[in-house]
């Protein structure tokens, strides 16, 4: 005798059409907004018509020269690489300790470590900027790197902890039986096995650092602005600027962020990160 399978409720019927219709409407508007920025970045003039009167690439040259994109991209690259390097240097040992050691208060420690990820950056950005200004670090590259390191380090720990937990501890025990010390076990056994996780964490930190606006804006100076802060300054600082040149700068930022995001998704599973956050956060 076969038992009839109950019908699943939720994603069938008129409610499903409403939900998917809302999603499609949002995506359509988002695509139209991005397309309008891209088209305007190539437009000579665009008033009262569906398409510009003519197209040109001169706005990209003007944006490169007027906004100093060469220096801005160099600063962005230096800040991002420095944050990635420091976050990995500090985060790999921290992730190993949290993955291998059980101690009293481990969950609260993990929760405190992940607060910069769970909270909006502006909530701790203003006190952090105040401290950096007090020690004369704000307005410099060092201050921008220090500010971006605060949310970057928890990302590294968040990504690497499940990678390390999946490695069999017998491998480390066997290495110790063969005479390897703690340093050799860490560098010659553990690190080579965690290379995919280290690569994933580094790319994730790189994406977040390039896209981090609030903390960078609060502590950056004229010579330490990343691309996203420079874009904001170009759009909202008083002065006469061609909208097409600002849109060209926005297209450059969008292409850079999209390329980094696609690269990150090739190595990082978002569901794995969500599962890790749920594990350490209280219900």
In three-state form (DSSP H/G/I as H, E/B as E, the rest C), the secondary structure along 156-221 is HHHHHHHHHHCCCHHHHHHHHHCCCCHHHHHHHHHHHHCHHHHHHHHHHHHHHHHHCCHHHHHHCC
DSSP state of 223: T
Predicted pLDDT of residue 270: 54
| Angle, helices 141-165/69-100, rounded to nearest 10 degrees | 40
Predicted pLDDT of residue 81: 93
- Is residue 7 very low, low, confident or very high in pLDDT (cuts 50, 70, 90)? low
171 and 251 share one domain:
yes
Question: Is residue 113 a part of any domain in this protein?
Answer: yes
Question: Is residue 63 a part of any domain in this protein?
Answer: no
96 and 228 share one domain:
yes
CB contact at 8 A, 76 and 227 = yes
CA distances from 76 to 81, 110, 145, 221, 267 (A): 9, 30, 10, 13, 22
33 and 83 share one domain:
no
Give which of 126, 264, 152, 123 is closest to 199, Cα–Cα. 264
34 and 100 share one domain:
no
Q: What are phi and psi of 197, to 5 degrees?
A: -70, -40
CB contact at 8 A, 160 and 204 = no
- Is residue 280 very low, low, confident or very high in pLDDT (cuts 50, 70, 90)? very low
Q: Please state the domain count of the chain.
A: 2
Mean pLDDT of 108-134: 86
Question: Can you tell me whether residue 42 is helix, strand or coil?
Answer: coil
Residue written as token pair 């703690």? 182
CB contact at 8 A, 197 and 160 = yes
DSSP state of 105: T
Q: What are phi and psi of 188, to 5 degrees?
A: -100, -20
Question: Is residue 3 a part of any domain in this protein?
Answer: no
Question: Is residue 36 a part of any domain in this protein?
Answer: yes
Q: Extract the tokens encoding 108.
A: 């609260």
Predicted pLDDT of residue 201: 85
Asked if the model's pLDDT at residue 104 lies above 90, the reply is no
Question: Is residue 223 a part of any domain in this protein?
Answer: yes
CB contact at 8 A, 241 and 66 = yes
85 and 173 share one domain:
yes
Question: Is residue 266 a part of any domain in this protein?
Answer: yes
**What pLDDT, in 10s, does the model give residues 162-174?**
888 887 778 778 8
Give which of 119, 135, 78, 92 is closest to 215, Cα–Cα. 119
Query: Which residues form the domain of 275?
Result: 68-280
25 and 83 share one domain:
no
């Amino acid at each position: 005798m076969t038992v009839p399978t109950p019908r699943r409720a939720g994603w069938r019927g008129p409610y499903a059409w409403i939900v998917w219709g809302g999603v499609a409407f949002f995506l359509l508007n988002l695509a139209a907004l991005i397309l309008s920025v891209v088209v305007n970045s190539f437009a000579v003039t665009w008033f009262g018509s569906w398409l510009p009167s003519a197209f040109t690439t001169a706005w990209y040259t003007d944006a490169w020269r007027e906004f100093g994109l060469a220096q801005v991209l160099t600063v962005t690259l230096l800040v991002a690489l420095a944050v990635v390097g420091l976050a990995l240097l500090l985060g790999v040992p921290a992730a190993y300790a949290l993955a291998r050691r059980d101690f009293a208060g481990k969950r609260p420690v993990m929760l405190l470590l992940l607060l910069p990820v769970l909270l909006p950056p502006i909530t701790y950005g203003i006190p952090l900027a105040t401290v950096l200004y007090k020690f004369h670090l704000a307005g410099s590259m060092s201050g921008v790197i220090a500010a971006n390191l605060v949310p970057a380090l928890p990302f590294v720990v968040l990504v690497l902890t499940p990678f390390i937990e999946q490695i069999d501890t017998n491998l480390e025990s066997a290495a110790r039986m063969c005479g390897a010390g703690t340093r050799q076990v860490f560098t010659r056994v553990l690190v080579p096995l965690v290379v995919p996780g280290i690569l994933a964490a580094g790319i994730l930190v790189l994406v977040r650092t390039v896209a981090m606006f609030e903390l960078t804006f609060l502590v950056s100076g004229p010579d330490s602005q990343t691309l996203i802060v420079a874009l904001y300054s170009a759009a909202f600082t008083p002065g006469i600027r061609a909208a097409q040149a600002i849109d060209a700068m926005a297209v450059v930022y969008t292409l850079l962020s999209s390329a980094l995001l696609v690269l990150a998704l090739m190595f990082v599973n978002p569901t794995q990160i969500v599962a890790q956050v749920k594990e350490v956060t209280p219900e």
